[in-house]
């Protein structure tokens, strides 16, 4: 028995016929395995189609000269009255082949490319806003920018240890805001959770922004020195671009009759190309802006020097590939079963990698990029600003609760006394620690790791203590702060 197979003159990467009759390509590699899996042991005789048209096998079927068309036939192609299509051996769709514009490698501000200008401005304004909020919270909160210093005279071991509330300077809040953006968030000053809440949310904001910037900058630098000027059909419409489609093929019929609104608007700017090679040359010369074809046809052109073209955009339209047999052929069921089995074993995927992904001389990506890494804008981080605003509101609510607590305790001395007594019973007021310090000093015993060392003031500590007390807004405010610091132990 003889199996008559008709092939096109040139349909790379699927098949190519040389002058000496030698054929090669993805389908030529697939054919022996396909026939073996289908249990077809007939001798294969090849027939060359009369022309290179996508429907060139139809004449061979009509004249009963072929039993199988080794053609990449697009699924859905209008040949149902003349031939039958097999199961798809390759799934895909239409995409665009465009020329990349050369990126200026001498740009000084390439490091700013990951973010849009508006996003950079918003990040800077956010840092300034956090700086202002920190200052406001520090002024409003009784614990906001206060720390505790415990002092006693060295030459007077019997003198009682005194606690002083020292107001920290706020000039470094701006530095803390910038440090958080570069991944070096500082420990927030002050004892108020209102300050810490803003610090934690701003630190998280900085980590996410820094991660996004690093990833996008790496993608931009790794993409080489080229950028695609057009990445989808919408970009073609925006620049009033021209696209080419293979002449007389199913793809041309699709783009001319489709209901896709974008393609309908593009129809006046669609031209027909005699061959894919001519369409590729038009893209290179700038006569057209894009070549529309199934991705399996376009990908090999990316591998052609000077390697300045790229397949872009999501799949649209039709593009899955199948073989064809004459009407009422007994081979259809066996070939379909074989195609399914080869797909399950990954054999066809291996051929796809060999003939399409790793074709020719240019380095091809293992995964075809559908879109370029975009320049991030404000909308990409909208949720972060919502989070930051919510945490700021929470911080101000906390400040209000702190002041309310202090006000209530000052107006109700009995309640304050009960709270302080309860705290002393639960966690102590710290006096035992100071007594242990004094005993160690007298016995000259080294301080233990579990007991905090008491800071010793210089010889002028008495004056320093007096100045510090004088700088307090009032004695009542000082008492309020000290009592608040004790209450802060509950946090």
What is the model's pLDDT at position 78?
62
> Three-class SS of residue 353?
helix
**To 10 degrees, what angle do helices 475-487 and 413-426 make?**
40
Report pLDDT digits (tens) over 190-205: 667 788 888 888 888 9
Q: Residue 392 is inside which H or E element, if any?
A: helix 382-411
Average pLDDT of the residues in 292-312: 82
Q: What span, in angstroms and rounded, lies between the C-alpha atoms of 94 and 432?
A: 80
Same fold, 1-91+320-371 and 94-99+228-318: yes
The CATH architecture to which 1-91+320-371 belongs is 3-Layer(aba) Sandwich (3.40)
Q: What percent of the chain has pLDDT over 90?
A: 18
pLDDT above 50 (res 447): no
Q: What is the pTM of this model?
A: 0.47
Domain ranges of the chain: 1-91+320-371, 94-99+228-318, 117-214+379-490
- Note the pLDDT tens digit of each residue in 104-162: 555 677 788 888 888 899 999 998 898 888 888 878 887 765 555 555 556 666 666 66
Give, in order, the Cα–Cα distances in Å from 220 to each of 7, 213, 305, 365.
Answer: 43, 11, 22, 15
**What residues does 312 pair with on adjacent strands?**
96
Domain spanning 94-99+228-318: CATH 3.40.190.10:
yes
First to last CA, the chain: 89
């Amino acid at each position: 028995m003889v199996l008559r197979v008709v092939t096109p003159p040139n349909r790379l990467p699927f098949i190519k016929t040389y002058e000496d009759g030698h054929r090669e390509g993805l389908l030529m590699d697939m054919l022996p395995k396909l026939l073996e899996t289908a249990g077809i042991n007939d001798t294969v005789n090849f027939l060359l189609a009369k022309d290179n048209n996508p429907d060139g096998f139809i004449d061979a079927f009509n004249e009963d000269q072929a039993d199988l068309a080794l053609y990449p036939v697009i699924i859905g192609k209008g040949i149902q009255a003349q031939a039958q299509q097999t199961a798809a051996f390759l799934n895909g769709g239409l995409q665009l082949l465009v020329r990349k514009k050369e990126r200026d490698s001498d740009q000084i501000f390439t490091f700013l490319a990951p973010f849009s200008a508006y996003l950079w401005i918003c990040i800077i304004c956010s840092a300034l806003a956090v700086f202002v909020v920190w200052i406001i919270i520090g002024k409003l909160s009784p614990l906001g920018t206060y720390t505790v210093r415990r002092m006693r005279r060295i030459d007077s071991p019997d003198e009682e240890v005194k606690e002083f509330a020292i107001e920290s300077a706020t000039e470094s809040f701006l530095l803390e805001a910038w440090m958080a953006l570069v991944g070096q968030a500082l420990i927030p000053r002050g004892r108020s959770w209102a300050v810490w809440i803003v610090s934690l949310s701003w630190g998280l904001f900085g980590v996410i922004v820094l991660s996004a910037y690093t990833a996008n900058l790496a993608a931009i630098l790794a993409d080489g020195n080229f950028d695609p000027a057009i990445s989808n059909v919408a970009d073609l419409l925006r620049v009033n671009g021209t696209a080419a489609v293979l002449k007389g093929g199913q793809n041309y019929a699709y783009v001319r009759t489709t209901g896709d609104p974008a393609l309908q608007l593009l129809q006046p700017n669609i031209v027909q190309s005699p061959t894919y090679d001519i369409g590729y040359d038009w893209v290179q010369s700038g006569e057209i802006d894009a070549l529309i074809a199934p991705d399996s046809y376009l990908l090999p052109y990316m591998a052609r020097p000077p390697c300045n073209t790229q397949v872009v955009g999501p799949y649209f339209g039709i593009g899955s590939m199948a073989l064809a047999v004459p009407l009422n052929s007994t081979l259809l069921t066996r070939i379909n079963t074989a195609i399914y089995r080869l797909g399950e074993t990954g054999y066809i995927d291996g051929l796809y990698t060999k003939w399409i992904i790793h074709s020719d001389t240019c380095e091809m990506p293992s995964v075809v990029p559908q879109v370029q890494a975009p320049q991030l804008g404000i909308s990409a981080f909208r949720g972060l600003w919502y989070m930051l605003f919510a945490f700021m509101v929470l911080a101000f609510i906390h400040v209000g609760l702190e002041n309310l607590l202090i006000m209530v305790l000052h107006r109700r001395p009995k309640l304050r006394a009960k709270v302080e007594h309860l705290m002393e019973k639960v966690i102590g007021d710290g006096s035992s620690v100071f007594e242990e310090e004094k005993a160690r000093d007298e016995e000259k015993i080294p301080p233990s790791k579990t007991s905090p060392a008491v800071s010793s003031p210089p010889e002028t500590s008495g004056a320093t203590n007096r100045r510090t007390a004088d700088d307090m807004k009032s004695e009542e405010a000082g008492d309020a702060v000290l009592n608040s610091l004790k209450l802060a132990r509950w946090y």
